[in-house]
Chains A and B, each alone.
Chain A
């Protein structure tokens, strides 16, 4: 259960293994966040509702993760918790609430430039949801 970082020259590849797709998406967001925060504890001071859509599951994951890069750059928001997560797998829609803090209260130097489709996988294996993706760092 959870996520791990795999070997990938230059960029960072992540594999997530969770009981269901909801948890797998949430874990993917935390993996992304951990690269930036490097295990620093982030306070849950601010809350935001987010809504993300896609054309298929891969683009839904891409857009969901990209939202956190957008929130960081444009709003100075860094993630600590995700609650009330709902995913519509037919309409490719996610609605959830994110909690976190102002990024300027911390000092981070590990940047994630972008989410990529490179080697992206979203699979159901036995009773597990497996997600793999590569970040441009």
Chain B
């Protein structure tokens, strides 16, 4: 495929065929090579063909092939002429990351690491088909879907400050539980308050380096401080919302021949509005979920360290559609931005980019430049580079555990086999991903955190 170099970290797929706008890839030469190994660029082109798309169809530096949109795909749409697609948000709606800073340092925790991660493993439910710690009635679930993390805080699971440092204040206000099917709700009821499985995790970390003292101070971070990261999403409820609306949109509008997963509805149509509202409910489920987990983390840590305290640095969404104000052709305008495996990077906003299991994670800060060139978006993680099937053939869980232990990282997981699929070897080089974001200027490096103990969902 013809691809044009714009600058050191920007590449363009020129407008061709049915494309309404060009494609834009943010990557270093090295990362572009990884991206070109699969069908990511083809998917960027497909997205560029959607009605009402503005500017360009974008792929962040950690992109890889998804379904419909690539993972790492960002696209903005005109509210009047544009469309909304469940394939632009993903199945795991509001798969997201929350970072907590604590009042502990390495010497407080060093000798108790094993006990800490084991206790957290006991207190925070994880794994497939595992039920959450909370039993909800149908009415209560509707409240969760309406209010998100606010529901949890109102019930005593956390404090008001937690909400201030959460994207959207932990509550998408367009959420209407009437637009979420009973089928989706019955998948959600048993799962609230559980980490899930697959790539979801809880990690005890330490701030290893600070690159920007001023911003780090602003975010309350300093070298040697212990942090805790929670990565999870909307579980089966969100997956079912996506798949319900794929079916409904297909019935009403058919699907694009390029990819059935790119099925969409006009943003302004009844179905488009209902999907946005149902997606908001799923996002709220994920916000509430992380708020509950935060509460249990605090409770568990207090049982080990009596004066323990933890504050939310930030809680950031990875898979979501948002109505936001952006400057288009010199004028401020409300648009819909879909980010699938990408994070928002508003000026001065904390951006959290988790690495793969056992590798470093980074805290960055959003910039004005991101507003100008990437609809205020940047990467969301390391991004996969190898298939899970391949990983299972080549790697053994014993070897990976040994490697992690050698680096001083303890790991707990319900099964050893799952560990292989999240091995660092399967992911792109996180350091290269964040360096590219920093040099390009769409989110600047603030601090690096390294894992001490991991609980894999």
Contact = CB atoms under 8 A, between A and B. Distances in A.
* A and B part of one assembly: yes
A118 interface: yes
Contacts of A8: 38, 65, 387, 389
A104 B221 CA distance: 40
A69 interface: yes
Interface in B225-269: 235-236, 239-240, 242-243, 246-247, 250-251, 255, 259-261
A12 B239 contact: no
A13 B415 CA distance: 22
A38 B417 contact: yes
Interface in A38-71: 38, 55, 58-59, 62, 66, 69-70
B251 A109 contact: no
A111 B190 contact: no
B198 A110 contact: yes
Interface residues of A, number: 41
B129 A72 contact: yes
A12 B388 contact: yes
Interface in B385-441: 385-390, 413-415, 417-418, 421
B389 A109 contact: no
A5 B390 CA distance: 9
Summarize B's interface: helix, strand, loop or mixed. mixed
Contact of B92 (A6, A104, A113): A113
A120 B261 CA distance: 10
A59 B67 contact: no
A59 B247 contact: yes
Given A109-B415, A109-B457, A5 B187 contact: no
B274 to A, nearest CB: 19
A110 B128 CA distance: 7
Contact of B415 (A76, A108, A115, A118): A108
B61 to A, nearest CB: 15
Contact of B67 (A103, A110, A136): A136
Given A103-B128, A108-B415, A109-B457, A7 B236 contact: no
B453 interface: no
Nearest to B92: A113
A108 B388 contact: no
A73 B196 contact: no
Contact of A137 (B385, B386, B388): B388
Interface of A: 5-13, 36, 38, 55, 58-59, 62, 66, 69-70, 72-74, 76, 78, 103-104, 106-111, 113-118, 120, 134, 136-137
**Lowest 10 A-B CB distances belong to which pairs?**
A103-B129, A118-B67, A73-B236, A109-B418, A117-B260, A111-B197, A111-B198, A114-B91, A73-B187, A108-B128
